[in-house]
Structure 1
Amino acid sequence: MRESNLDPLRVLWVDDDAELTGGLVDYLAGEGYAVDCVHDLAAAARALEQARYDLVLVDLDLPDGSGFSLIRDTPRERAREFVVITGHGSVRTAVEALRHQVFDYLMKPVELAELCNLLARVGHARAAAAGGPAGTASGGGTAGTAAPAGTLASELLPGASAGMRQVQRLLSRAAGTDITVLLQGESGTGKEIAANCLHQLSNRRGGPFVAFNCGAVSPSLIASELFGHEKGSFTGALRTHKGIFERAEGGTLFLDEITEMPVDLQSSLLRVLETGTVTRVGGDRELPVNVRIVAATNREPMQYVEEGRFRLDLYYRLQVFPVALPPLRERPEDIDLLAAYFLAHFDSRPSGGTAEARSFSQAALDCLRRHDWPGNVRELRNVVERACLLAGARIEPEHLLLPERAAANTASPAAPMAAKSGGGSLLRDAEQELILQTLHACGGNKTRAAAQLGISLKTLYNKLKRFENRDAGAAGAA
């Protein structure tokens, strides 16, 4: 066991399956963990009143209720982290666990290696929170050998703003399951990087990560690329071809620009997602596939649904766990961090040589901060790469080659409305005016407008539909 100035990791295991817990609890105690085991919610509540725990492992199906009630009712100062354990896993259960912000989600029978890795991550997170260096987590010989998922997420997907920390947390929590994730964000916000981050954090990281752009392939070829084809199935099919589902076996499949997929193929994709099998073009055999799906779009899917360009049932199947990536203009505090990250990546100067490492001048950094970044993180990456080719040791504004943009071009929140004369505006008129002004300020982007208004996207669509009906009724009355 590693020496540590921290107390042993304290664990409460709540499970009525004595056959499962008996041997594992003894093993963990022998590895230096302080483990208490109880068999129902009442005993767990008493234990949490008497002691504080670093981790609570809780079964969902207990004799006196659901483990979720324990998670919901326990103050976080009594338990640092919760992990759900169940023998009856489902997408619905995984989503519920994620909503309760649990640290992880384990299926029975629990593997010893998986459990030890989990405890190591919890120990590492506790050490980091206490200000200790990596590797100081106590309790178990493997403690401190693995960084917590949140730390890895910030390394794979850089960003220190509140919006990006939320993305990192969501990806870290989703990584422990095979839940389908839908990434939404403007072009250039890093959706493929986020998908790859999710893959690297998951248990599928040893398998392939396959990216497929649904909008970049000819409609006549997309079925073959997705599902594969048999030899002789069409003119030019000279040999059997494996589709991307087969090529991603055991790993993660990233479907970018999913809303651009032809409507006639969306039903075939839905069938694959529901059955876990594919049938090649020209074939009659259903081939089992084991892939984790991550989809992405820079559009508003519900608008495509309303226009008949995207199936509603496929949308609901894909958006089980949605994650929104904020545009760079909404997280300006990340600009310096990202610029330094890309500079370190593109700087070709030998790190051990005598040449001075490249750096940004203060004027260059100010220039980066003033830019509104319509191309988001991808644009910043390209600007830094270009500057590395043009500059010497010091990157100045002239090396950035940024167009001059007025600060006023950036969208600003809607201005407060003045009350109308003649008794003031009615509440519904004020609501309509505020929503329409906000939508205009957001350039027509309903997702951003909903977020700025503090309402759901569905609520915004319903209100806009109601405004449309009111206006049509008023025009008819006139």
Structure 2
Amino acid sequence: MIGCSRAMLDLFDSIGKVAPLDATILLYGESGTGKELAARALHDLSGRPGRFVALNCGAIAPDLLASQLFGHERGAFTGAQQAHAGLFEQAKGGTLFLDEITEMPPLLQVFLLRVLESHALCRVGGSRDVAVDARIVTACNRDPAQAVRDGRLRSDLYFRLMEFPLTIPPLRERREDIPLLVLHFLQRLNERHGTRRAFAPEALQRLAELPWPGNVRELRHAVQRHYILADSDLVDLSQPPRHDESDAAVDLTEDSIFFTVGMTFAEVEREMLLKTLAMCNENKRAAADKLGVTPKTVYNRLSRYRSRDERKPLRGLLFGT
């Protein structure tokens, strides 16, 4: 995590104080702000010897999520040919990071609350309790209090997760960090490709003035794109983008999608799905309703994109990275 702004220094201070403790933590921040980085920092500073295990609750079909989290015994369901230790057990002595916690089905939220309260779980199809020793860090990109009002998050689980909340500031509230981030991303690209490219001062100034609705993730993609298009070791942003940064901000807030002649049906479908998800604040069921498909279809498509390493953030698609 990189930053010299007041907001980031306060965040670093809070992470350092709570990391060694066993408090349950809820990270709240917009998409692309670095919630998983914060979760990893909490684990690294905790002193816990176990693994850091992460799960995006919105990326797993609801009927599979219970088995992924709590594990299952042999014969618990069709295809369960052997016992399986869930992520809680895999994170023994370490940290379990549950991203998009508001996407977890309400029924599973009841079981999660029981594990948090009792420090024990029962595998799917099992009859005995298994002790749990994992530090729980959760995250969401929507207001958790609003999620409770919308029925997306149980109020009892909300109050349990709010034991120690941390807010990750958006990039627009820490603009003084943009030059540091840009130089960091560029340095990593130079190290990876054996180059010595640098941004012109006016380029850094322009980058610091842009809105960056996609936050740090969008900034990283933009740096990579301009690095690739540079004709010399001086990156001056002279190459015309397929979609200008200012246009990207408009596209993310309007009900429009950018298509080009020659795109495959699979690419059109993917961009349509990702844009609809963004419009619905990553709510898979709402997106499925708008697209006229079942939620299972949405989950299956997202799983396919990940398995083929095809799913890129919407802002990355707009920048062509």
User: Which residue among 194, 200, 209 is the counterpart of 1:370?
Assistant: 209
Alignment pair present for 1:159 and 2:6? no
- For each residue in 1:151-199, what CA deviation from the matched residue of structure 2 results, as whole angstroms up to 9, or x when unmatched? xxxxxx1111111111101001001211111110000000000000111
Please show how residues 393-432 of structure 1 align to structure 2 within 5 Å: 393-399=233-239, 401=241, 403-405=244-246
Structure 1 residue 370: deviation in Å?
A: 2.1
Structure 1 residue 389: deviation in Å?
A: 2.6
The answer on whether the counterparts of 1:383 and 1:400 sit within 8 Å (CA) in structure 2 is no
- For each residue in 1:207-242, what CA deviation from the matched residue of structure 2 results, as whole angstroms up to 9, or x when unmatched? 200010011100110000010011111011111111
The answer on whether the counterparts of 1:347 and 1:388 sit within 8 Å (CA) in structure 2 is no
Higher relative contact order (CA closer than 8 Å, sequence separation 6+): 2
Structure 1 residue 350: deviation in Å?
A: 7.2
Give distance in 1, aligned partners of 2:201 and 2:155. Answer: 50
Alignment pair present for 1:270 and 2:90? no
Give distance in 1, aligned partners of 2:141 and 2:208. Answer: 24
Provide the secondary structure at the position in 1 that maps to 2:219: helix
Instruction: Decide whether aligned partners of structure 1 residues 400 and 296 sit closer, same or farther in structure 2, where only a CA change above 3 A counts.
Output: farther
User: Which residue among 207, 221, 228 is the counterpart of 1:389?
Assistant: 228
- The corresponding residue for 2:182 is 339
- For each residue in 1:90-128, what CA deviation from the matched residue of structure 2 results, as whole angstroms up to 9, or x when unmatched? xxxxxxxxxxxxxxxxxxxxxxxxxxxxxxxxxxxxxxx
Provide the secondary structure at the position in 2 that maps to 1:405: helix
- The corresponding residue for 1:195 is 39
- The corresponding residue for 1:306 is 149
Instruction: Decide whether aligned partners of structure 1 residues 183 and 349 sit closer, same or farther in structure 2, where only a CA change above 3 A counts.
Output: closer
**Higher alpha-carbon Rg:** 1
Give distance in 1, aligned partners of 2:79 and 2:239. Answer: 49
Give distance in 2, aligned partners of 1:349 and 1:233. Answer: 46
Higher mean C-alpha deviation, range 299-308 or range 244-253: 299-308
Q: What's the % identity of the aligned pairs?
A: 53
- For each residue in 1:25-79, what CA deviation from the matched residue of structure 2 results, as whole angstroms up to 9, or x when unmatched? xxxxxxxxxxxxxxxxxxxxxxxxxxxxxxxxxxxxxxxxxxxxxxxxxxxxxxx
User: Which residue among 197, 208, 219 is the counterpart of 2:51?
Assistant: 208
Give distance in 2, aligned partners of 1:182 and 1:376. Answer: 20
- Root mean square deviation, CA, Å: 2.0
Structure 1 residue 321: deviation in Å?
A: 0.7
Please show how residues 62-81 of structure 1 align to structure 2 within 5 Å: none
Please show how residues 115-126 of structure 1 align to structure 2 within 5 Å: none
Please show how residues 437-452 of structure 1 align to structure 2 within 5 Å: none
User: Which residue among 154, 171, 174 is the counterpart of 2:18?
Assistant: 174
Structure 1 residue 386: deviation in Å?
A: 2.4
Provide the secondary structure at the position in 1 that maps to 2:62: coil
Give distance in 2, aligned partners of 1:217 and 1:337. Answer: 35
Structure 1 residue 399: deviation in Å?
A: 5.0
- For each residue in 1:352-381, what CA deviation from the matched residue of structure 2 results, as whole angstroms up to 9, or x when unmatched? xxx6x2110123212211210011001111
- The corresponding residue for 1:291 is 134
- The corresponding residue for 1:282 is 125
Counterpart code for 1:323:
L
Structure 1 residue 349: deviation in Å?
A: 6.2
- The corresponding residue for 1:226 is 69
Give the unaligned 5+ runs of structure 2: 251-280, 282-321
Following superposition, which runs of at least 4 residues in structure 1 exceed 2 angstroms of deviation? 348-351, 385-392, 398-402
- For each residue in 1:138-162, what CA deviation from the matched residue of structure 2 results, as whole angstroms up to 9, or x when unmatched? xxxxxxxxxxxxxxxxxxx111111
Q: TM-score, normalization: structure 2?
A: 0.73
User: Number of paired residues?
Assistant: 248
Give distance in 2, aligned partners of 1:400 and 1:180. Answer: 46
The answer on whether the counterparts of 1:207 and 1:252 sit within 8 Å (CA) in structure 2 is yes
Instruction: Decide whether aligned partners of structure 1 residues 179 and 349 sit closer, same or farther in structure 2, where only a CA change above 3 A counts.
Output: closer
Counterpart code for 2:76:
S
Please show how residues 241-280 of structure 1 align to structure 2 within 5 Å: 241-280=84-123
Give distance in 1, aligned partners of 2:98 and 2:154. Answer: 16
Structure 1 residue 404: deviation in Å?
A: 4.7
Q: TM-score, normalization: structure 1?
A: 0.50
Give distance in 2, aligned partners of 1:187 and 1:347. Answer: 26
